[in-house]
Amino acid sequence: MDVRKPGSTWTTMVVLVDACQGVAVNLGDSNASNDGFSEAVNILSKPFPPRTFQVSISNMISTNSSAMTDITALILSPSFLISAALLVAGNVVFFLISYTRRPRGFPPGPLGLPGLGNLFQINKSIPALTYSAWAHKYGQDRPLGVKLGATNIVVLNSARMVRDLFERRGAIYSDRPRPNGEDEKWKFQTHEVPASLFHDSGPWLTRWRREFNGALGSAAAVARLHPMNDAETARALVALLEAGPTTRRAELEDIILSWVTSVPCIAVCGRRPDAMAHHGFDMDTFRRRTAGYMMLHKPSLMDSIPVLRYLPGKFGMAGWRAKSRAVAKDVFEIADQFLSAAKEHRAALDGADAAAGKGLSNRTEGYYESLGARMLREQRENRDKDMWTDLGLSAWNIVAAAMYTSLATFSTMLMVVAKYPDVQQRIRDEVLQVSGGDGAPLKSADVGRLVYTEAFWHEVNRWRPVAPQGIPHAPAQDDVYDGYQIPKHTAVYANVWHIHHSPEDYESPERFEPERFLRHPFGMRPGAAHDPATMEPSTNSASASARATYSFGFGRRVCPGMQLAKQSLILGLAKILWAFDVLPAQEGEELDLGVDTGFVQGLITFHPKHLDVSLRLRPGRNKQDILDHYSETYKAEAELMGW
Ligand code: HEM
């Protein structure tokens, strides 16, 4: 095809698209225009030589006005317009088809629409339910291939596959997906405002997770936090008492949020959130900005249909860019507030050191040293310069990761005990028995002795997991599994919902029944197909990675806050049941915990639609008991924190 001929199809297309914009044809530098449509044209015209073509147009236009009239007539002629329309349509179809073509050897899955793939076949609020339905059709123990527009997704519907890929091949399957390669979104998440959740596996993340484990993740770290956990939970009881039994929904959530963020916040910067106002911190702003950050990363149509990225203004990448600048500014402000609190904690510990006649670089004995305070000390000792810049952001990351996941899980726990009074009573009986009688509230150190309550915890996480389709992992290289090709960077989801509701593995999976975890360590029926302890008895690794719940993720990316979350939320429930009866907000109301009627998928978590419970002081328990419990536990906390 000779593109220099005025009537050739490529000439036609560029002129047409420019005309659509109402802008003059750019005859000079083809890079001059930044606007989205021009970029789209550049992309569409890639296989052809646009420069040659531009010169020829330029020559044409610089001739006389009768030539211009000829061109206008030509452009407006029906044959020209029809061929132009056909060309545009042809290219659109070509792009749509090539975007949504399944990669060669991709796992089987449902047929989709050209250009859209399976995008509109998936349950918007709980995609895991659609993946579950497809698992029955395409095989539960075989990877499922799904196309969301241009995006490739592989869903693992069985524990066997999750273990094979996320654990056994963890060296490969520990990255996060990049639907559009190393684009601006990816750079933003991993470099400009790095969040561990989005980061690929590698030295940065290994280092980050090691620091996390040392401060909040390991059993020893969680034990070091016992006094703070006791006191902060006792403090929440006081807040609940003061709020009164009519407090429900958003107000109740606020109290829970400030409680569940307090221990992580103390662990990272030595202060609870509501004592950080003088650093400029305020919980509502923190929540709003964190939600803004997450919104930015919510997969949008632009990710599935990449050509939409080239739309101008707020619909395409231009809108994302503008928002991301604002979000980055907001998040860095929060990071500075955490950093400032950590410096304050460092200064307090240094002051205590000085008072005790120790040198500045000594580790402060007798006090709790937060992660931030430790890093600042190590930096001062010149042992680590790198973490300095990450410190404030890391603190934000950790507190943000703890916030909504813990709120969602605890809301489900409260709703369940309100709905099933016999379960509530059984937990309370166990708590009172372990704590040594009705008088004393449970201590953090005794949480591990609660057997039925732990079974309850596992059952809550199995029955209504916070992330029903998990957080996707991605292979760092092309891989072949069970004969299927999984391309590098593909989003690989573990369908936690399906795994935890498979009748092959769980007796009456829809029933809420903590006892299943008393009968079997993983809550499974005898001889269950995917019992991790019996799947491969020949290898020790089979039981090493075995677990009761998949709600906290897998392999190298498993939630590093899992132990702290378990400890804190069980402790919270135990103390609440010591102090209060948890009842439906409306007396006699049948609480709806149906998966699609009583729950919703929010921006981040799957949680009860409404926290409709009421906390009433138990008969025999009085206000003073609760105040006394707080002042006693606070004493121990304040001593350790130097408050
Ligand atoms: C009931 C409460 C919680 C649930 C259900 C939960 C669940 C999860 C899940 C599913 C993941 C992704 C795992 C994966 O990719 O395989 C995750 C990651 C993470 N969680 Fe949690 N989490 C909870 C509480 C916490 C707490 C209390 C903290 C901090 C104190 C925390 C910190 C993190 C961090 C930092 C990550 C990112 C890890 C990474 O990507 O490598 N989480 N969590």
Is the beta carbon of 550 within 6 A of some atom in ligand 1?
no
Is the beta carbon of 492 within 6 A of some atom in ligand 1?
no
Is the beta carbon of 398 within 6 A of some atom in ligand 1?
yes
Show me where the domains of the chain are located: 1-76, 184-641
**Among the atoms of ligand 1, which is closest to the Cα of residue 564?**
27
Q: How far, in Å, from the CA of 561 to the mean position of ligand 1? A: 6
Complete DSSP assignment for 339-382: HHHHHHHHHHHHHHHHHTT--TTS--TTS---HHHHHHHHHHTT
User: Mean per-residue pLDDT for 588-594?
Assistant: 95
Q: How far, in Å, from the CA of 361 to the mean position of ligand 1? A: 33
* CA nearest neighbour of 194 among 454, 386, 439, 442: 386
**Among the atoms of ligand 1, which is closest to the Cα of residue 166?**
16
pLDDT digits (tens, 9 = 90+) for 95-104: 666 666 899 9
pLDDT digits (tens, 9 = 90+) for 140-183: 999 999 999 889 999 999 999 999 999 999 999 999 998 888 88
Residues 6+ apart with CB under 8 A from 290: 334, 396, 400, 403
Which range has the worst mean pLDDT, 111-115, 127-131, 260-264?
Answer: 111-115
Q: How far, in Å, from the CA of 546 to the mean position of ligand 1? A: 18
Range of 26-30, 72-76, 102-106, 450-454 with top mean pLDDT: 450-454
Confidence of residue 65 (pLDDT cuts 50, 70, 90): low
* Residue with more model confidence, 182 or 506: 506
pTM for this entry = 0.85
Residue 241 confidence (pLDDT) above 50: yes
Cα(491)–Cα(68) distance, integer angstroms: 52
Is the beta carbon of 561 within 6 A of some atom in ligand 1?
yes
Which range has the worst mean pLDDT, 62-71, 452-461, 611-620?
Answer: 62-71
pLDDT digits (tens, 9 = 90+) for 216-226: 999 999 999 99
**Mutate-to-test residue for ligand 1 from 208, 456, 552, highest number of ligand atoms within 8 A of CB:** 552
pLDDT digits (tens, 9 = 90+) for 531-543: 877 766 445 444 4
Residue with tokens 């225009």: 33
Q: Is domain 184-641 annotated with CATH 1.10.630.10?
A: yes
Cα(471)–Cα(550) distance, integer angstroms: 11
Percent of the chain with pLDDT over 70: 82
Q: How far, in Å, from the CA of 524 to the mean position of ligand 1? A: 24
Q: How large is the greatest C-alpha to C-alpha distance in the chain, in angstroms?
A: 102
Which range has the worst mean pLDDT, 220-224, 300-304, 482-486, 582-586?
Answer: 300-304
**Mutate-to-test residue for ligand 1 from 411, 559, 566, 601, highest number of ligand atoms within 8 A of CB:** 559
CB 345 within 8 A of CB 391: no
3-state secondary structure of 144: strand
**Is 265 part of any known ligand binding site?**
no
Is the beta carbon of 342 within 6 A of some atom in ligand 1?
no
Which range has the worst mean pLDDT, 191-200, 404-413, 457-466, 564-573?
Answer: 191-200
Q: How far, in Å, from the CA of 406 to the mean position of ligand 1? A: 9
Confidence of residue 23 (pLDDT cuts 50, 70, 90): very low
